[in-house]
Amino acid sequence: MTIKHEDLQALLRALEARARVLRGEVSVKLAQAADDAEDGHGSSDTGDKSFAASESLLDLAEAGRDINELAAIDATLSAIEAGTYGVCQQCGIEISSERLMAQPLALRCTDCQTRDEVSRREHHARL
């Protein structure tokens, strides 16, 4: 383990704080999305309706991004608790501390991450 205990504790606290902010944002955005959708229903104007619908989708898309980040934070927090933080979940090698500094939520080494992104792109290309 290349990461110092106090660095891990600091990361843990930072991630927990970030998760709290994100959870707040998600609930606000979901409420906004519901409100915007509601506005659309109340209006007889089709322009208003489609505007409200796109606003609502935008809120949902933002909430979705936050939820993805929350999931990444949760995965990182459980890796820290399990003592596996900093080890690639795919191939088991230690992730370089430079990479972890740049991307504290990285659960895989650069090689595995790149392989995963390439195979995802190929999957999309096939669709």
The residues binding Zn ion (CB under 5 A) are 88, 90-91, 109, 112
Q: Which is nearer to Zn ion, 90 or 96 (CB)?
A: 90
Cβ atoms < 10 Å from Cβ of 106: 21
Q: Cβ 118 to Zn ion, closest distance in Å?
A: 14
Q: Which is nearer to Zn ion, 32 or 84 (CB)?
A: 84
Q: In terms of C-beta density within 10 A (0-12 exposed, 13-18 middle, 19 or more buried), how is residue 86 classed?
A: buried
CB-facing half-sphere around the CA of 104: CA atoms within 13 A = 18
Q: How far apart are CA 110 and CA 88, in angstroms?
A: 9
Q: Which is nearer to Zn ion, 32 or 90 (CB)?
A: 90
Q: Cβ 15 to Zn ion, closest distance in Å?
A: 21
